Amino acid sequence: MWWNWRGHEVHVLRRENRNAPVRVLLVHGAGGHSAALWPIASLLPPNQVELAAVDLPLYGETISPDPAAVRYQDWVALLCEFVLSEDDGRPLLLLGASIGGMLAYEVAARTGRPVAVVATCLLDPRDPQAPAVMTRFGPLGMLGGLLARFLPNRLAGRCIPMSWVAALSKMSRDPGLSHLCTVDPRGGGAKVPLGFLASLMTYRHVPPEEMQIPVTLAHPAKDAWTPVEVSTRWLSRIAAPAEMVMLRECGHFPIEDPGLADLVNAVERAARRAQRDDALPPLT
């Protein structure tokens, strides 16, 4: 289906079940799109979970009136409005993959509507180490974080392939899947404006000390792209109940067993807690 948002024709994948007690919204990152992640999310039981996924501007099938003008703030605003417009009284979980994890966190913190966030990564771009792991340039990527603050307006609309910047070769433990993600014109092969990258690298997320929504970090145990230590630094500061689950044998794109089952189980546990209104145990 399609949803019009501020001139963007936003593509939304759905698996509807009005009788399902819980809703899950899937949030992709900057190297994927909803259809790429749908096979993972669709493993959630249909009788328990109604599922939706949005293609964010620049990615998937969404059509934007001016792609060069898209910024990370637009992603936040779009998802906040989508969450509020879809609210039907049932508990909502946000499932965020890659940088979609921090995006899901941000939307939950800003709207207060989701009952929980499950994220495979909590990468704060303002963390000094984040650019080094997010980009292809290793330690030199930290310079990119600094330069993003001083991007000239005349260059902000210039679009480049995401694969020029992101370390997409580390997307999966399967080199073939990493290659597919890199060349996919709806995902890692999409062109993004430099202004979007700058807005991502300089965005101030809601501080973890102010977060009131429970968070589960379901981090791939063999992620060669984003080290778990970067995510746990943020997780350990979250004021709300939080937990960590390691997805066994999984790379950044978590398709391997048994970690794929670990991810599905983590979302199912969060869904059951939402129905019972249970709290997470203290983070250890």
With respect to residue 178, please indicate whether it lies within any of the assigned structural domains. yes
pLDDT-derived band of residue 148, with 50, 70 and 90 as boundaries?
low
Residue 283 lies in a domain: no
Of the candidates 56, 36, 30, the one whose C-alpha atom is nearest the C-alpha of residue 188 is 30
In a domain, 229, yes or no: yes
Query: What CATH number corresponds to the domain at position 14?
Result: 3.40.50.1820
The answer to whether residue 281 sits within a structural domain is no
The answer to the question of residue 67 being in a domain is yes
- Give yes or no for residue 189 having a pLDDT over 50: yes
Please answer whether residues 11 and 60 qualify as being in contact, where contact means their C-beta atoms are separated by less than 8 angstroms: yes
Would you say the C-alpha torsion 40, 42, 43, 45 has a positive or negative sign? positive
Looking at the 3D structure of the chain, how many domains does it have? 1
In whole angstroms, what is the distance from residue 83 CA to residue 200 CA? 21
pLDDT digits over 201-229, tens only?
Answer: 889 999 999 999 999 999 999 999 999 99
Residue 81 CB contacts under 8 Å (≥ 6 apart), including other chains: 5
Question: Higher pLDDT residue, 209 or 153?
Answer: 209
pLDDT band at 165 (very low <50, low <70, confident <90, very high): confident
CB burial class (10 A; 0-12, 13-18, 19+) of residue 88? exposed
Q: Sorting pLDDT into bands at 50, 70 and 90, what band is 275?
A: confident
- The residue assigned the tokens 């794929």 is 260
Q: Looking at residue 143, what is its pLDDT? A: 36
Q: Is residue 28 in a domain?
A: yes
Whether 282 maps to a domain, the answer reads no
* 108, part of any domain: yes
Q: What dihedral angle (degrees, nearest 10) is formed by the CA atoms of 250, 255, 256, 261?
A: 90
Residue with more model confidence, 267 or 142: 267
- List CB contacts of 267: < 8 A, sequence separation 6 or more: 24, 44, 49, 93, 95, 118, 218
**Across-strand partners of 14?**
52
Quick one: average pLDDT of 176-185?
Answer: 94
DSSP letter at 226 equals: S
State the residue range of the domain holding 139. 2-275
Judge whether 17 and 27 are in contact, CB under 8 Å: no
Average pLDDT, the chain: 91
CB neighbour list of residue 126: distance below 8 Å, 6 or more residues apart: 145, 201, 202, 203, 204, 205
pLDDT value at residue 278: 63
Residue 246 near residue 216, CB atoms below 8 Å? no
